[in-house]
Amino acid sequence: MRVLAVGCHPDDLEICCGGTLARMADEGHEVYMCHVANGDMGHMVIMPEELGKLREKEAENGGDILGAKKVYNVNIGDCRLYSHDTEARREMVRIIREVQPDFIITHSPDDYMEDHLQVSQLVFETSFTASVAHMFPEYPVYRVVPIYYMDNLAGANFLPEQYVDITDYIDKKIAALECHESQLKWMLEHDKIDFAEFVKSCSRFRGLQSGVQYAEAFKACHAHLRDTTKRFLP
């Protein structure tokens, strides 16, 4: 199978579904990662242009650890992302049609942050648009596929429907997250937050809920053409 995981910022996928992606890659599936925003506002000292380039490299390093075949960067600035933006839609359709995923993972429509919500809506819209032949006809058409929403940060306002056991992949998940040094180092030094430990604790909490040591949580998009009898998550 092919999975396309679409997050907003360069570290969002490692946080919310990195263990699942690592497990899928290890099991022989093709994993593709995409961050829509470039993360250029995610620091108080490093300036946006420099930070955007740095975070792109951090995302590539994280993807390498998780076993991704490719990490895409739509390269839209933080807080400047709108799901109806024509160029953002065009690029997302291009990526979907290029990858031809069997299913997509992205942010929940009940997430806490506007940029995340815009990505969730963008993925929902363009995953249908990718099936419309005369929309962006310069790229080959593709079918509508199921969408799974990954956990919100700290599980807030998220009621899981499916869990993935990532016990054997928790170290790889955290190693990939730690590639995002510009974020983790800053939070530790200035906010006294060990974010890697925070994320690991969230995975432990989902593991306790589902009867394993570490887990990640998901729920399906139940809109027409999205539901399926097939289990896509491992």
The residue extents of the domains of the chain are 2-220
Lowest mean pLDDT among 183-187, 208-212, 217-221: 183-187
Q: How many angstroms separate the CA atoms of 144 and 226, rounded?
A: 7
Name the amino acid, one letter, at 143: R
Q: How many angstroms separate the CA atoms of 120 and 138, rounded?
A: 24
∠ CA(201), CA(206), CA(212), 5° rounding?
100
What percentage of the chain reaches a pLDDT higher than 70? 100
CATH architecture of 2-220: 3-Layer(aba) Sandwich (3.40)
Query: Is the overall model pTM greater than 0.95, yes or no?
Result: yes
> Do residues 209 and 218 make contact, with C-beta atoms less than 8 angstroms apart?
no
Give the pLDDT band of residue 51 (cuts 50, 70, 90).
Answer: confident
Tell me, what's the pLDDT at 99?
98
∠ CA(61), CA(2), CA(39), 5° rounding?
35
Tell me, what's the pLDDT at 214?
98
> Do residues 188 and 114 make contact, with C-beta atoms less than 8 angstroms apart?
no
Give the pLDDT band of residue 98 (cuts 50, 70, 90).
Answer: very high
Q: For 61-96, how does the pLDDT look when each residue is reduced to its tens digit (9 = 90+)? A: 999 999 999 999 999 988 898 888 999 999 999 999
Q: For 176-192, how does the pLDDT look when each residue is reduced to its tens digit (9 = 90+)? A: 999 999 999 888 887 78
CB atoms within 10 A of CB 68: 25
